[in-house]
Amino acid sequence: MSSPPRKNFLVKSEPSEYSIQQLQQDHHQEWDGVRNYTARNHLNTMKPGDKCFFYHSSCKLPSIVGTCRIARAAQPDQTAVNPKHKNFDPKSTESNRWVSVLVEFEALFETSITIKELRMQATINPVIANMSLLRQSRLSVMPVSDEEWQAVLDLQTRKEQGEDLEQLQQQIQTKEKQRRTKRTEKVAVTTSTS
Angle CA(44)–CA(109)–CA(155) in degrees, nearest 5? 90
Say if residue 77 is in the same domain as residue 146: yes
Say if residue 132 is in the same domain as residue 186: no
pLDDT given for residue 32 in this prediction: 96
Say if residue 132 is in the same domain as residue 149: yes
Specify if 1 maps to a domain: no
Say if residue 107 is in the same domain as residue 176: no
pTM score of the predicted model: 0.84
Say if residue 81 is in the same domain as residue 127: yes
Say if residue 193 is in the same domain as residue 130: no
CB count, 10 Å around CB of 49? 13
| Higher pLDDT pick, 106 / 1 | 106
Residue 93 has pLDDT above 90, yes or no: no
Band of pLDDT at residue 185, cut at 50, 70 and 90 = confident
pLDDT, tens only, 117-172: 999 999 889 999 999 999 988 899 999 999 999 999 999 998 888 877 667 667 66
| Higher pLDDT pick, 11 / 188 | 11
Count: domains in the chain:
2
Specify if 57 maps to a domain: yes
In 3D space, the residue among 19, 111, 100, 26 whose CA is nearest the CA of residue 56 turns out to be 19
Say if residue 116 is in the same domain as residue 189: no
Is residue 101 within 8 A of residue 79, CB to CB? The reply is no
Is residue 98 within 8 A of residue 34, CB to CB? The reply is yes
Say if residue 34 is in the same domain as residue 70: yes
- H helical segments located in 29-164: 37-45, 115-122, 126-129, 132-135, 146-160
* Contact residues for 18 (Cβ-Cβ < 8 A; gap 6+): 29
In 3D space, the residue among 6, 11, 4, 2 whose CA is nearest the CA of residue 132 turns out to be 11
Specify if 3 maps to a domain: no
pLDDT, tens only, 20-64: 999 999 999 999 999 999 999 999 999 999 999 999 999 999 999
pLDDT given for residue 2 in this prediction: 63
pLDDT given for residue 127 in this prediction: 96
Band of pLDDT at residue 88, cut at 50, 70 and 90 = confident
CATH number for 115: 3.10.590.10
Specify if 2 maps to a domain: no
pLDDT given for residue 83 in this prediction: 86
Residue 190 has pLDDT above 70, yes or no: no
Distances (CA, A) of 158 to 8, 123, 154, 168: 21, 17, 6, 11
Residue-range definition of the domain harbouring residue 25: 8-163
Say if residue 102 is in the same domain as residue 179: no
Residue 101 has pLDDT above 80, yes or no: yes
Output the DSSP codes for 7-64.
-EEEEEE-TTT--HHHHHHHSEEEE-----HHHHHHHHH--TT-EEEEEE-SSSS-EE
pLDDT given for residue 180 in this prediction: 76
Specify if 90 maps to a domain: yes
Say if residue 117 is in the same domain as residue 193: no
